[in-house]
Amino acid sequence: MESTRNKLIHLLEENKDTYISGQFLSDKLNISRSAIWKHMKELQKDGYEIEGIPKKGYRIVGFPDRLSENALQWGLKTDWLGKTIIHKEVVTSTQHIAHQIAQENTEHGTVIIADEQTNGKGRMNRHWYSSRDKGIWLSIILRPSILPYLAPQLTLLSACVLADVISQQSELIPKIKWPNDILVDGKKIAGILTEMQAEQDQIQYVVIGIGINVNHNHNDLPSDIQAKASSILMETNRNWDIKHFIQQILVTFEKEYNEYIEHGFTHVKKKWESYSFKIGEPIRISTLKSQWTAIFSGIAEDGALLVRNNDGTTEKLYSAEIDW
């Protein structure tokens, strides 16, 4: 059940353009006016900026810098994405929590965000390094009405969203390495892990896991990834507001997802190819069975990698590692 404190924050947020009287709050929350006053003092101590004017009442004018459900929802301009946000300081992996709660009929668009992950998951069962307060570690639960074989399109859509937001916010020029790595100057700054629960012809839910290295300095990254990974701070030489970045991701994601559900994959495919790394160039491909070099010619309608082999044939690949 929602705590009195959270209900109070919601009431202040809903009425942020006006003052609300202590009496109104006390009637709504069924607590005394002096209890309201004590709550306000506690909120101010926690970094909430609240104006209290005699005879007028209270008004919230700012949220603390630290991530919290309320702070993330404050000013978030989405219709359905992030209507429920679950924020935790430390988790093993936001993917684990997302799977747990998705089994319990959690609504489409629920977002799980952590300040730190102790066992972050990357693709191919790799570990995803997710240190405290340095990056964006979040998972989105979706219940799309598309066929399961089309779910990889959502990974490509998510990669376009990250590339759009990173370029708009930071003016960096991100590139996408198939299927989901976001690179700046050849170094990885973000990744996406899509996991799904489905029957033969119906998706129960999809979890899109997004990890972005935001405010890491070189030495904040483990030495084994320092040569190939970077962060937005390292590429721009400035600190970034993580809360604002998350909100931009949610707004852009919702817009792109709505467009995709309404009009299909064509728009995503075009955008993805415009961000694509090494398109039209030779790449090295590794699958479980073999390794070879081919020309990267684009992506197929179902999100598969399209390569042109030396013998002139075009091949569609669903699972491979690419390099150059």
Cβ count near 105 (within 10 Å): 9
Choose between 302 and 321: whose C-beta lies nearer to ligand BTN: 321
93 touches ligand BTN by CB under 6 A:
yes
The token duo for 141 is 């639960």
Cα maximum dimension of the chain:
82
CB of 304: closest distance to ligand BTN in angstroms? 18
Rounded to an integer, what distance in angstroms lies between the CA atom of residue 80 and that of residue 250?
10
- Please give the C-alpha separations between residue 228 and each of 2, 67, 183, 190, 238, in angstroms, as whole numbers: 44, 28, 9, 12, 20
Integer-rounded Cα radius of gyration of the chain: 22
CB of 209: closest distance to ligand BTN in angstroms? 3
Q: Tell me how many helices (H) and strands (E) the chain has.
A: 9, 14
269 touches ligand BTN by CB under 6 A:
no
What is the 8-class DSSP label of residue 6? H
CB of 284: closest distance to ligand BTN in angstroms? 18
Rounded to an integer, what distance in angstroms lies between the CA atom of residue 159 and that of residue 180?
6
Q: Which of 68, 130, 213, 247 binds ligand BTN (CB under 6 A)?
A: 130
316 touches ligand BTN by CB under 6 A:
no
Choose between 36 and 113: whose C-beta lies nearer to ligand BTN: 113
**What mask of x and - would describe binding to ligand BTN in positions 149 to 188, judged by CB under 6 A?**
-------------------------------xx-------
CB of 118: closest distance to ligand BTN in angstroms? 10
* Paired strand residues for 181: 177
270 touches ligand BTN by CB under 6 A:
no
Q: If binding means CB under 6 A, how many residues of this protein chain bind ligand BTN?
A: 22
138 touches ligand BTN by CB under 6 A:
yes
Q: Which of 68, 70, 73, 94 binds ligand BTN (CB under 6 A)?
A: 94
Residue 45, marked binder: no
Binding piece for ligand BTN, criterion CB under 6 A, among 59-67, 79-87, 208-216, 249-257: 208-216
Choose between 128 and 296: whose C-beta lies nearer to ligand BTN: 128
Choose between 9 and 183: whose C-beta lies nearer to ligand BTN: 183
Rounded to an integer, what distance in angstroms lies between the CA atom of residue 224 and that of residue 226?
6
308 touches ligand BTN by CB under 6 A:
no
Choose between 121 and 134: whose C-beta lies nearer to ligand BTN: 121
> Burial code of 64-99, b = ≥16 C-beta within 10 A, e = fewer?
eeebbbbbbbbebebeebbebbbbbeebebbbbbbb
Residue 56, marked binder: no
- Please give the C-alpha separations between residue 175 and each of 161, 183, 185, 232, in angstroms, as whole numbers: 12, 5, 8, 13
DSSP assignments along 26-68, one per residue: HHHHTS-HHHHHHHHHHHHHTT-EEEEETTTEEEEEE--SS--
Instruction: Give SS3 for 139.
Output: strand
Choose between 20 and 97: whose C-beta lies nearer to ligand BTN: 97
139 touches ligand BTN by CB under 6 A:
yes
- Determine the residue with CB nearest ligand BTN: 191
Binding residues for biotin are 117, 188
- Binding residues, by number, are 117, 188
Task: List residues binding ligand BTN (CB under 6 A).
Answer: 93-95, 117, 120-123, 126, 128, 130, 137-139, 180-181, 191-193, 209-211
